[in-house]
């Protein structure tokens, strides 16, 4: 438990900052459920894998390589299938989707958790800035390839971040998706997380009336491998001060687990959650036109990079 959780209360859901993936699933029997999870080998993804399997779910655990995914599965035990999904490689993402479809199990949830953060210099893949390409386009290809595999009340859970508030002032820079025009480690991370949020809100609209839902979330601030690209001084400060002021990994995994499986979220769609309650996104995060344009542009990019 983090120190801060002692001072923060619970919200209308009955859960809050100090809730953990274990506490939000207390008493739930998830046997029979199948959940696809990206980034299952590290940080809050690995904790999500541990708790979902502990509650009886079959987790299709994705990682950059099948070896990494299998190692995480072996560590947690339970019912799992390890799959490779390198999000910056469209062929790997497509192969992952095909493998999941071939398993023949309807997906009760897809948790898009994998991500990279604040790369100090501009990196690109197939002409696109790498954080946008990995965090958003990779997941866009994965989820849109699997929509028919979503169960009747299947849930798509996009792990965004309050860092979406730090996206460029115009929001998604549609004329600078390569990053060549301007690049900022945090601005571009923020843009990718804004894209995760807008993707969920627009997907929720497209799924209206189907029983399937999509939501996004901020997990909190947690000391994980995500900080690997930050400078050593900032990383050192996180390592020392983290346990006092940041969420624990269990607390960090709570909101995505809550959104994926908690009965009280059934039918809830298009919302941005924080601390297991509906939170407030930036004005860009509520911009339906930007969300619709992002969908259209992402479809074109997905078609181009998978051709
Ligand atoms: N930690 C925080 O404070 C915080 C705050 C807000 C939002 N988030 C979000 O929470 C999510 C999980 O982060 P975390 O803190 O648990 O970080 P983490 O420990 O670094 O885990 C990130 C996961 O994403 C995977 N990944 C990275 N690049 C990938 C790629 N190209 N293809 C496939 N998988 C890839 C990593 O795999 P490898 O281990 O192989 O690199 C790892 O499994 C991220 O989406 C992050 O943006 C975290």
Decide if pLDDT at 276 tops 80: yes
Contact 78, 59 (CB under 8 A): yes
Decide if pLDDT at 228 tops 90: no
Please name the residue whose Cα sits nearest to atom 6 of ligand 1.
161
253-269 pLDDT per residue, tens: 999 999 999 999 999 99
Assign residue 213 the CATH number of its domain. 3.40.50.720
Mean pLDDT taken over the chain: 95
Decide if pLDDT at 288 tops 90: yes
Q: Pairing relation of β-strands 150-159 and 213-218?
A: parallel
Index of the ligand 1 atom closest to the CA of residue 64: 33
CA distance 222 to 301: 32
122: tokens are 């501009």
Give residue 210's pLDDT.
97
CA distance 142 to 110: 10
Decide if pLDDT at 3 tops 90: no
Index of the ligand 1 atom closest to the CA of residue 40: 43
Where does ligand 1 bind, in terms of residues with CB under 6 Å?
38-39, 41-45, 63-64, 68, 85-88, 113-117, 134, 159, 161, 218-219, 221-222, 224-226
pTM: 0.96
Residue 63 pairs with which residues in a beta bridge? 84
40-82 pLDDT per residue, tens: 999 999 999 999 999 999 999 999 999 999 999 999 999 999 9
Please name the residue whose Cα sits nearest to atom 17 of ligand 1.
226
Index of the ligand 1 atom closest to the CA of residue 189: 47
* Site to substitute for ligand 1 among 135, 226, 230, 275, most atoms within 8 A of C-beta: 226
CB contact set of 224 (below 8 Å; sequence gap of 6+):
42, 43, 44, 249, 252
What three-state secondary structure class fits 10? strand
CA distance 214 to 190: 20
Confidence band, pLDDT 50/70/90 cuts, at residue 166: very high
Please name the residue whose Cα sits nearest to atom 16 of ligand 1.
43
128 tagged catalytic: no
CA distance 72 to 76: 6
Residue 81 Cα to ligand 1 middle (Å): 20
- pLDDT > 70: what percent of the chain? 96
Residue 70 Cα to ligand 1 middle (Å): 17
Neighbours of 124 (CB within 10 A): 16
Mean pLDDT on 129-155: 98
Total count of domains within the chain: 1
Cβ-in-10-Å burial (0-12, 13-18, 19+) of 182 comes to exposed
Mean pLDDT on 97-126: 97
Mean pLDDT on 167-189: 97
Decide if pLDDT at 226 tops 70: yes
Note down the domain range covering 235.
Answer: 4-306
Decide if pLDDT at 225 tops 80: yes
Mean pLDDT on 25-36: 98
- pLDDT > 90: what percent of the chain? 89
Strand order in the sheet with 107-112: 80-84, 58-63, 34-37, 107-112, 150-159, 213-218, 272-274, 277-278
Residue 209 Cα to ligand 1 middle (Å): 32
Mean pLDDT on 283-295: 98
The one catalytic residue among 128, 183, 258, 272: 183
Mean pLDDT on 197-220: 98
Confidence band, pLDDT 50/70/90 cuts, at residue 241: low
CB contact set of 40 (below 8 Å; sequence gap of 6+):
46, 48, 49, 59, 61, 62, 63, 69, 72, 73, 113
Phi, psi (deg, nearest 5) at residue 44: -75, -20
């Amino acid at each position: 438990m983090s120190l801060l959780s002692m001072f923060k209360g619970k919200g209308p859901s009955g859960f809050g900052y100090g809730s953990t993936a274990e506490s939000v699933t207390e008493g739930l029997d998830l046997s029979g459920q199948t959940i696809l999870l990206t980034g299952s080998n590290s940080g809050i993804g690995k904790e999500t894998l541990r708790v979902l399997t502990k509650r009886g779910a079959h987790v299709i655990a994705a990682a950059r390589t099948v070896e990494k995914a299998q190692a995480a599965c072996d560590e947690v035990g339970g019912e799992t299938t390890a799959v490779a999904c390198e999000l910056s490689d469209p062929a790997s993402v497509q192969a992952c989707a095909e493998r999941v479809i071939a398993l023949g199990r309807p997906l009760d949830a897809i948790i898009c958790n994998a991500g990279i953060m604040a790369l100090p210099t501009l990196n690109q893949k197939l002409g696109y800035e790498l954080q946008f390409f990995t965090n958003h386009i990779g997941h866009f290809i994965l989820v849109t390839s699997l929509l028919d595999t979503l169960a009747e009340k299947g849930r798509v859970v996009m792990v965004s971040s309050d860092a979406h508030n730090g996206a460029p002032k115009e929001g998604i820079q549609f004329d600078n998706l390569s990053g060549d025009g301007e690049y900022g480690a945090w601005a571009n991370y923020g843009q990718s997380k804004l894209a995760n949020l807008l993707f969920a809100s627009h997907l929720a609209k497209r799924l209206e009336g189907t029983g399937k839902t999509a939501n996004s979330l901020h997990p909190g601030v947690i000391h994980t491998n995500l900080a690997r690209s930050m400078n050593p001084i900032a990383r050192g400060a996180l390592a020392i001060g983290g346990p006092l002021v940041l969420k624990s990994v269990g607390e960090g995994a709570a909101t995505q687990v809550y959104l994926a499986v908690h009965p009280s979220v059934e039918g809830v769609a298009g919302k941005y959650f924080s601390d297991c309650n509906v939170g407030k996104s930036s004005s860009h995060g509520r911009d339906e036109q930007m969300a619709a344009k992002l969908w259209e542009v992402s479809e074109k990019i997905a078609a181009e990079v998978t051709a």
